Amino acid sequence: MIRNTLLILLLVPTVLLSQKKEKKEKEVKFDSSYIKSFHHDITFKCYGNFKSNDITQTEGKNKALDYTINNPFKIGFGVSYKWFNILATVITPFPIDEYKKGKTNHFDLRFNIYGRSTVTDIWFQFYNGYYLKNSNDVLPGWNNPNAFYRRPDINVASLGGVLYFNLNKKKFSYKASFSQTDRQIKSAGAPIFGVNWSAFNVRGDSALLPAMIKSTFAPEQRVQSITAITLGAGGGYAYTYVFKKHWFASLSGTLFLVAQTYSYVLQGNPAPRVAPGLGFNFLSRGAFGYNDDKNYYGLVFISDNIPLGRRAGSVFNYSFGTFNLMYAHRFSLKK
């Protein structure tokens, strides 16, 4: 019931925002020598998808923990028309190796709305079940080379969003690389400004540190649960390089200064310890491929990270991303 309510709260403003962008689309002028629009074409897509989701605890330059999910490669389909853009993964072509990496249950919903002057990202995630991908490096005497240390009890819930402003909307198009409804004709870049927010919680039935190495850490580092609320603003730059007429490489990066409130629960001490803090997080996205008037072939990625603060010398971080191998074909509806 809670998930359904949150989903409705996310969908309603997203649809209204998209409809508002549709009405403004005709008002926003762009330089046709740099951008070609396929706004009134319908675009069908087929893609392969891989998602990452990591929780790390770092001591100095060394990672004491690097938990990740067992999330297989998936195949999906999508469609774009005017403001409407939807993708859904529906097929898992390869078997899931649960013996080696354990089982991950997840609900991961992400919205990426690409307008001409703004870009909106919204995510809503629940993950259960992680494995320690650096088991051989940090666990002394780990004697199972065919399997990783697994934590089916670790749960993650994350809700957040980012709003970007494209300061060169007449010559630079995010849509060309990421929603396939434009084509960038000439190379161009744009300064970008953005705001972001997030609410995050990770918890386990015991300390996130495995029992076999827990005694080597101070009691203040044996964190069992972390809750972080983040609000920030930042800037960056995006650029698309066009070569041989239809080939392109696009990269966008934004550095945010964020104000956060952390709440830690230590194993054996259920009283939460709250601390404010400042930090930085970096969000990047990129694409490489071929884009003509009918077809799009591309590699697309989006990655984000949420700093979770410092505790007695340990630095905690949460990062996630998505990687798509995309094919899209446009059909003209003018006739």
pLDDT, tens digit, 9 for 90 and up, residues 11-34: 434 444 444 444 444 445 889 999
**pLDDT number for residue 237:** 97
- Helix (H) or strand (E) holding 174, with range, is helix 174-178
Q: In which band, very low, low, confident or very high, does the pLDDT at 61 lie, cut at 50, 70 and 90?
A: low
Q: In which band, very low, low, confident or very high, does the pLDDT at 7 lie, cut at 50, 70 and 90?
A: very low
CA 88, 179, 166, 282 torsion: positive or negative?
A: positive
| Of 169 and 274, the one with more pLDDT | 169
| Of 5 and 78, the one with more pLDDT | 78
Query: Which region, left, alpha or beta, applies to residue 226 given φ > 0 means left and ψ of -120 to 50 means alpha?
Result: beta
**pLDDT number for residue 335:** 58
Q: Are 48 and 108 in contact (CB under 8 A)?
A: no
How many residues does this entry show for the chain? Answer: 335
Using one digit for the tens of pLDDT, what is the confidence trace for 91-106? Answer: 887 778 888 899 999 8
Q: In which band, very low, low, confident or very high, does the pLDDT at 114 lie, cut at 50, 70 and 90?
A: confident
Q: In which band, very low, low, confident or very high, does the pLDDT at 55 lie, cut at 50, 70 and 90?
A: very high
Number of domains comprising the chain: 1
Instruction: Give residue 180's Cα distance to chain centre.
Output: 19
Q: In which band, very low, low, confident or very high, does the pLDDT at 267 lie, cut at 50, 70 and 90?
A: confident
**pTM of structure:** 0.83
**pLDDT number for residue 214:** 84
pLDDT higher than threshold 70 for residue 147: yes
Domain containing residue 319 = 2-331
Q: In which band, very low, low, confident or very high, does the pLDDT at 144 lie, cut at 50, 70 and 90?
A: confident
The CATH number that applies at residue 121 is 2.40.128
pLDDT higher than threshold 60 for residue 64: yes
Q: What is the mean pLDDT of the chain?
A: 86
Using one digit for the tens of pLDDT, what is the confidence trace for 177-236? Answer: 998 999 999 999 999 999 999 999 999 998 898 888 888 888 888 889 999 999 999 999
* Number of other residues whose CB lies within 10 A of the CB of residue 234: 20
Percent of the chain with pLDDT over 90: 53
- Helix (H) or strand (E) holding 25, with range, is helix 2-25
Average pLDDT for 264-272? 81
**pLDDT number for residue 283:** 93
Strands 105-114 vs 149-166: parallel, antiparallel or unpaired: unpaired
Q: In which band, very low, low, confident or very high, does the pLDDT at 46 lie, cut at 50, 70 and 90?
A: very high
